[in-house]
């Protein structure tokens, strides 16, 4: 039987409807909307799209959502100075610095920037203070993508406690916090990565399999225990015909889209996994929309905490 598709887009719309009255109440009580500042350095095309979507969703939900743009030749010092100004801004409750930063800023630029954001405004949950609180399972602003995955599992009534979760990927922004959030909900958690031998065998032990890798279609049928829940965090733009043809059979609608546009957005999970999984998220329309919704929730939370309500 084909897997149940977990519709992240529909859940994101529902959650944003739930937030709207809270945003309106904040605005009427405090005479201003909760405010989010998004810092974009340079002109990375993928970042432009992500930022546009965040600004649009924020505006639609009633937030003040401002783009703070710096040119591609801005220095790390310029970026840190902007973050410091935003830390002091009375109208911005949340600050998000869009990754990646220009390579010329140096390998540790992102870390330096995240170290500078005031933890109370860190709506991405990337500062050391918020990461530390999250590790200790204390209330904190938590990274948006893993929070969105938990929200999806909970709302779809997929049991977590006592289940074996395997997270493929150990990045600071997805894999590690994902594993910890599952652990805090009493899953038994395995973290796999590029040095894990026999990845398929490790993955097949999962009741809940999370792929956060960045490799199109890496997770094939043989990675999945029949009936398991598979969450695809991957967002990969594929422009090679052989990769698209490996993922979609001749005649598939998405292959037609690829041929018309010259590229297509795919996840880390091969579509054939739908033949064995019990439930899975699509790409697009799965985890991605929830990430933005969690950003809105974190901004509202940061705003409420700042004004003490
Ligand atoms: P990342 O920082 O590049 O980390 C990738 C992780 O995957 C690393 O831990 C790496 O292992 C592991 N890995 C790479 N190749 C592997 C392989 N062949 N087998 C097993 N593990 C492998 O990436 P990220 O920032 O976590 O993002 C992962 C994916 O999620 C990307 O496609 C990204 O675009 C997507 N993403 C989506 C959202 C969303 O809103 N949906 C948000 C953020 C990211 P090592 O540590 O050993 O190198």
Residue 63 has pLDDT above 80, yes or no: yes
Separation of CA 277 and ligand 1 centre (Å): 21
Read off the pLDDT band of 308 (50, 70, 90): confident
Residue 309 has pLDDT above 80, yes or no: no
Strands of 229-232's sheet, edge to edge? 4-5, 279-280, 229-232, 208-211, 164-168, 188-192
| Residue range 12-20: mean pLDDT, rounded | 96
| Residue range 36-51: mean pLDDT, rounded | 94
**Residue 245 is a catalytic residue:** no
Separation of CA 301 and ligand 1 centre (Å): 28
pTM of the predicted model as reported, rounded to 2 decimal places: 0.97
User: Catalytic pick from 98, 122, 207, 225?
Assistant: 98
| Overall residue count recorded for the chain in this entry | 309
pLDDT of 1 reads 73
Q: Is 134 helix (H, G, I), strand (E, B) or coil?
A: helix
- Residue 234 near ligand 1, beta carbon < 6 Å: yes
Give the percent of the chain with pLDDT over 70: 100
Mean pLDDT of the chain: 96
Separation of CA 171 and ligand 1 centre (Å): 6
Read off the pLDDT band of 219 (50, 70, 90): very high
Q: Which of 99, 191, 194, 270 for a ligand 1 pocket mutation test, highest count of atoms within 8 Å of Cβ? A: 194
- Return phi, psi of residue 305, to 5°: -65, -40
| Residue range 58-78: mean pLDDT, rounded | 96
| Residue range 108-114: mean pLDDT, rounded | 95
**Residue 20 is a catalytic residue:** no
Cα angle value 4/289/216 (rounded, 5°): 70
**Residue 54 is a catalytic residue:** yes
What are 171-214's pLDDT values in tens digits?
A: 999 999 999 999 999 999 999 999 999 999 999 999 999 999 99
pLDDT of 150 reads 98
- Residue 237 near ligand 1, beta carbon < 6 Å: no
Beta strands in 227-300 (DSSP E): 229-232, 236-238, 264-266, 279-280
User: Would you call 232 exposed, middle or buried from its count of C-beta atoms within 10 A (0-12, 13-18, 19+)?
Assistant: buried
């Amino acid at each position: 039987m084909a897997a149940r598709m977990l519709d992240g887009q529909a859940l994101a719309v529902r959650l944003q409807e739930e937030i709207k009255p809270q945003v309106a109440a904040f605005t009427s009580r405090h005479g201003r909307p909760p405010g989010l500042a998004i810092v974009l350095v340079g002109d990375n095309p993928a970042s432009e799209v992500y930022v546009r979507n965040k600004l649009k969703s924020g505006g639609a939900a009633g937030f003040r959502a401002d783009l703070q743009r710096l040119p591609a030749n801005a220095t790390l010092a310029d970026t840190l100075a902007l973050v410091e100004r935003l830390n002091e801004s009375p109208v911005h409750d949340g600050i998000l610095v869009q990754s990646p930063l220009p390579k010329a800023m140096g390998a540790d630029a992102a870390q330096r920037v995240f170290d500078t954001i005031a933890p109370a405004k860190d709506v991405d949950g990337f500062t050391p203070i918020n990461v530390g609180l999250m590790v200790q399972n204390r209330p904190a602003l938590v990274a948006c993508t893993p929070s969105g995955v938990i929200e999806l599992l909970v709302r779809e009534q997929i049991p977590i406690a006592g289940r074996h979760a395997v997270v493929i990927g150990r990045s600071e922004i997805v894999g590690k916090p994902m594993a910890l959030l599952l652990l805090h909900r009493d899953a038994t958690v395995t973290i796999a990565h590029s040095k894990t031998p026999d990845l398929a065998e490790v993955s097949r032990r999962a009741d809940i399999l999370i792929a956060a890798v960045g490799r199109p279609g890496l997770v094939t049928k043989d990675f999945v225990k029949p009936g398991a829940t598979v969450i695809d965090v991957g967002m990969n733009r594929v422009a090679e015909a052989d990769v698209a043809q490996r993922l979609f059979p001749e005649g598939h609608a998405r292959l037609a889209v690829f041929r018309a546009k010259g590229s297509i957005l795919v996840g880390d999970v091969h579509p054939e996994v739908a033949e064995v999984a019990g439930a899975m998220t699509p790409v697009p329309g799965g985890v991605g929309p929830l990430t933005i919704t969690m950003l809105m929730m974190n901004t509202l939370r940061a705003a409420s905490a700042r004004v003490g309500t």
